[in-house]
Amino acid sequence: MSDARQVVESGYDRIAQRYLEWSARIPDDPRRRFAAELTGRLDDGAPVLDLGCGAGVPSTAALAERHDVLGVDLSEAQLALARRNVPGARFRRGDMTGLSFPDGSFAAVTAFYSVLHVPREEQGALFAGIAAWLRPGGWFLAALGCSEANGVETSWLGAPMFFSSHSPAENRRLLEAAGFTLDVDETVTMQEPEGPATFHWVLGRR
């Protein structure tokens, strides 16, 4: 496993509970609005893959109310919380860049604030893999980074953490190259406890 992944895995193993409490203090996280954009396009019981599901709340839980959800995460501590928080979904430990599923397995793939922990030079290949796992016409919803970060922050919520992202223009280019047409393409700033943070929200159709 690469150094970046080890930093991310051991970081979330240490801060899983703290991350959950911290993220609940963000008053204007637009995740529910974008999740609703997705779920309004899906049938009841549709198979959905949630990449970097974390503790499963609030997003995996919201998806699992109406869909058949598989959550994947690198961190066992996150998965332990997710299994407790969302008994109606299935969970599996894994690296989102190393998963394999038969082509066309899912109606949707989601990634809420998780691709930004994958080295940016690997994100294009990840998007191509996601496109293959989706049925034709399937959807990919993600909150991507857009800060040009690329390296380890020595203390994020009390642990070292690796972040990596591209500009919105490069995110868009990589998604289109992977075969997605974007229905939603918005940069949104929200107030994290330490100050404003901006993410690139995309909802792409394969």
Ligand X SMILES: C[S@@+](CC[C@H](N)C(=O)[O-])C[C@H]1O[C@@H](n2cnc3c(N)ncnc32)[C@H](O)[C@@H]1O
Does residue 134 interact with ligand X by CB under 6 A? no
Q: Which stretch binds ligand X (CB under 6 A): 5-13, 144-152, 180-188, 196-204?
A: 5-13
Does residue 75 interact with ligand X by CB under 6 A? yes
Please select the residue that binds ligand X; options are 39, 46, 49, 59, rule is CB under 6 A: 59
Does residue 171 interact with ligand X by CB under 6 A? no
Q: Which stretch binds ligand X (CB under 6 A): 91-99, 134-142, 165-173, 191-199?
A: 91-99
Among 129, 125, 163, which Cα is nearest to 146's? Answer: 163
Pairing of strands 106-112, 134-145: parallel
Q: Which stretch binds ligand X (CB under 6 A): 32-40, 50-58, 83-91, 148-156?
A: 50-58
Distance from C-alpha of 182 to C-alpha of 91, rounded to nearest angstrom: 28
188, 30 Cβ separation under 8 angstroms? yes
Does residue 91 interact with ligand X by CB under 6 A? no
Considering beta carbons, is residue 48 or 74 the nearer one to ligand X?
A: 74
- For residue 144, list its beta bridge partners: 200
Considering beta carbons, is residue 169 or 199 the nearer one to ligand X?
A: 199
Q: In the complex, what is the shortest distance from the CB of residue 77 to ligand X, in angstroms, rounded to a whole number?
A: 9
Q: Which stretch binds ligand X (CB under 6 A): 46-54, 62-70, 165-173, 191-199?
A: 46-54
For residue 80, count CB atoms less than 10 angstroms from its CB and return exposed for 0-12, middle for 13-18, buried for 19 or more: middle
Does residue 64 interact with ligand X by CB under 6 A? no
Q: In the complex, what is the shortest distance from the CB of residue 9 to ligand X, in angstroms, rounded to a whole number?
A: 6
Distance from C-alpha of 71 to C-alpha of 57, rounded to nearest angstrom: 11
**Looking at beta carbons, which pairs linking 24-29 to residues 24 or more positions away fall under 8 Å?**
25/193, 26/190, 26/191, 26/192, 26/193, 27/191, 28/190, 28/191, 29/190
Residue that is written with structure tokens 């203390």 in the block: 155
Residue ranges in contact with ligand X by CB under 6 A: 5, 8, 12, 23, 52-54, 59, 72-75, 78, 95-97, 112-114, 117-118
